[in-house]
Structure 1
Amino acid sequence: MTSLTLPDIAAQTQQHAIPLDWVGMCGIALPIQFEGRSVAATADAGVSLVDETSRGIHMSRLYLSLETLEQQTLTPLSIRRLLADFLSSHEGLSSAAYLRLNFDHLLKRPALVSPLTGWKSYAVTIDAKIENEMFHVELSIRVPYSSTCPCSAALARQLIQRQFQADFGDQEISHDAVLQWLGSTQGIVATPHSQRSQALVRVRLQDKLDRIPVTELIDSIESSLGTAVQTAVKRADEQAFALANGQNLMFCEDAARRIHLSLRQLSWSSAFTVRVEHAESLHAHDAVATSQWQW
């Protein structure tokens, strides 16, 4: 019996001679090696299609090349080699290669005061491409935090002052009486409103960097804000968190500026964008501020 050659439909000449900017696959599940552990990730992998006579690319070649991420630590160099492999497997067809990785980065964080610790998950995206023989990597992070509105804090303080005047007027009062009043719900009649907030930061890494500094970027953002959300806590930690919020009152504009200044101190950043979103507890809409540098 004569064996039949399997047809290669993608190699057939296509009817419309139009090059394509990106062709590939999205949402490929795979494990990657990052910071000493295996992490579940999804990958988007693709190349350009500049050969106007070719109907399509070889997607299976891209898929199989991704297996290299399972065995070696994820670094800019390993990504560059992978993208170079994308191009070599599509010689004559493609001039650019792209990769996007999405995964959650787990960090064990200590409580503010007590000896408790707990895990926090941070959404990470890594974008890389080779185009016109130029290679670069961009790192995106989503960091949650708490924000207390400076305006509501000022209004709350004014209401407390009014209540103090209503309760005591111009009479002379003892230190103990004031102390007791400050610790009562009768005295503290109003509190500032806080909201769950998030910072979305995208950083372009310097060329020839030998690592992908995810934890460093998260630490920089959280340190600049001072009100990172917590994991396991005791009452002492919750009190310390309330203190941190009181000492770091901020509008979304303040938060964006704080992060911007902290990112400017990072030696491995060549450009960045910042977007902060405060999920308002007063309004039914969110407050947003953005900033960028060298983008």
Structure 2
Amino acid sequence: MHSHENPARSMPDIALHGQPHHAGVLDWVGMDGIAAPVAFDGGDGVQRAPAEVGVFVNLLRPDRRGIHMSRLYLLVDECLSTRTLDAPMLEDLLRACLASQQDLADRARIRLRFDYLLRRPALRSGHSGWRAYPVWLDAHLDGEGFRLELGTEVLYASTCPASAALARQLIQEQFARDFPPGRPLQREAVLAWLGGENGIVATPHAQRSVARIQVRFAEGARLALVALIDRAEQALGTPVQTAVKREDEQAFARANGANLMFCEDAARRLQQALESDAAIVDFRLRLEHQESLHAHDAVAYASKGMSAPDEA
């Protein structure tokens, strides 16, 4: 009889062998761009979505050539395929990642990116449509404990206050020319002038804008994504729309007129809204107004305690 040796027992593992001429401790080693399904409840029920995942550990041992990457992949695959995404699950996953590396690492990190769909109502017409909000989760486990940050982006319109003032000045000047002093004003004539293209000779410039929001929730708090998005859109006042009929477009124009803002104004509005939320212990904001006047963008940052982003 022939003995059947387990082939895995005899396969060489080069990662276990050191390279004395290239020894060194590495900050992070792992995989990025892993495709995986996620089940996530942002506050309105569990949604399933495809995600991109990055998972990493440090490499403490300069005498070891590499880590056990396949173990990380299998743990990510099993956990994300069977459990709903939340803080306890991510902490369990990171602890399992560290345990899988034996004595090679003492820090672990996982990052996930996916889209979350929300149905948003129109402003007046009663219609509604879907918006896809990008979501990212960044979780760390090290000697200081477990930390988790959640991020998303909100799109909104921003109308420039300076441009609005300049447009109003031009309209005043046109009115003075069309209705000179000494001539009686007829209500019907003024109404017709206001409703015609010859009267409203200038409009302020507006642009699509992006609020990038990253928060850290209090320990034990739910990852309340929907509430975070709602709070941000209410603070800004002019979130982009989905289904739009004429009455919705008119209501959106009114909202823009009532919410004139520089990027600094938008940042402060959002800053105050998040500071008033007891469930959010820390945050970092990036507000970008994608200029229609300039070829460059206007950008503002704000934070509570998180370190400023690299690009600031």
Instruction: Say whether the fold is shared (TM-score over 0.5).
Output: yes
Deviates more, 1:198-207 or 1:281-290: 198-207
**Distance in structure 2 (CA, Å) of the matches to 1:106 and 1:54:** 44
Residue pairs, 1:59-98, within 5 angstroms:
59-66=69-76, 67-98=78-109
Kept in 1: contact 2:30–2:56 (CA 8 A): yes
For 1:57-89, what per-residue CA distance to the aligned partner results, in whole angstroms no more than 9, with x for missing partners?
Answer: 111111011121122211100100000110111
Identity %, equivalent residues: 51
- 1:261 to partner: Cα distance: 0.4
**Distance in structure 1 (CA, Å) of the matches to 2:121 and 2:79:** 35
Residue pairs, 1:32-47, within 5 angstroms:
32-35=38-41, 36-47=46-57
1:196 paired with 2:208, answer yes
- Gaps of at least 5 residues in structure 2 are 307-312
**Distance in structure 2 (CA, Å) of the matches to 1:133 and 1:159:** 60
Opposite residue 202 of structure 1, the aligned amino acid is Q
- 1:216 to partner: Cα distance: 1.4
1:291 paired with 2:296, answer no
Kept in 2: contact 1:41–1:103 (CA 8 A): yes
For 1:220-275, what per-residue CA distance to the aligned partner results, in whole angstroms no more than 9, with x for missing partners?
Answer: 11110000000111000000000000000000000000000001012221211111
Kept in 2: contact 1:30–1:43 (CA 8 A): yes
- 1:208 to partner: Cα distance: 2.8
Q: Secondary structure at the match of 1:109?
A: strand
Kept in 2: contact 1:271–1:294 (CA 8 A): yes
**Distance in structure 1 (CA, Å) of the matches to 2:136 and 2:19:** 35
1:57 paired with 2:67, answer yes
- 1:108 to partner: Cα distance: 0.5
1:220 paired with 2:231, answer yes
Task: With the length of structure 2 as denominator, give the TM-score of the two structures.
Answer: 0.92
Corresponding position of 1:251? 262
Kept in 2: contact 1:140–1:201 (CA 8 A): yes
- Gaps of at least 5 residues in structure 1 are none
For 1:88-140, what per-residue CA distance to the aligned partner results, in whole angstroms no more than 9, with x for missing partners?
Answer: 11121110110000011111100000111101111111000101151010111
Corresponding position of 1:186? 198
Task: With the length of structure 1 as denominator, give the TM-score of the two structures.
Answer: 0.97
1:7 paired with 2:12, answer yes
**Distance in structure 2 (CA, Å) of the matches to 1:120 and 1:283:** 28
For 1:153-200, what per-residue CA distance to the aligned partner results, in whole angstroms no more than 9, with x for missing partners?
Answer: 111111111111100111111211111110011111111111010011
Opposite residue 55 of structure 1, the aligned amino acid is R
1:24 paired with 2:30, answer yes
Residue pairs, 1:94-105, within 5 angstroms:
94-105=105-116
Paired residues in the alignment total 294
Corresponding position of 1:207? 219
Deviates more, 1:49-58 or 1:77-86: 49-58
**Distance in structure 1 (CA, Å) of the matches to 2:29 and 2:216:** 23
For 1:18-70, what per-residue CA distance to the aligned partner results, in whole angstroms no more than 9, with x for missing partners?
Answer: 11111000000000001212111000001111122211111111101112112
Kept in 1: contact 2:47–2:116 (CA 8 A): no
Q: CA RMSD in A?
A: 1.2
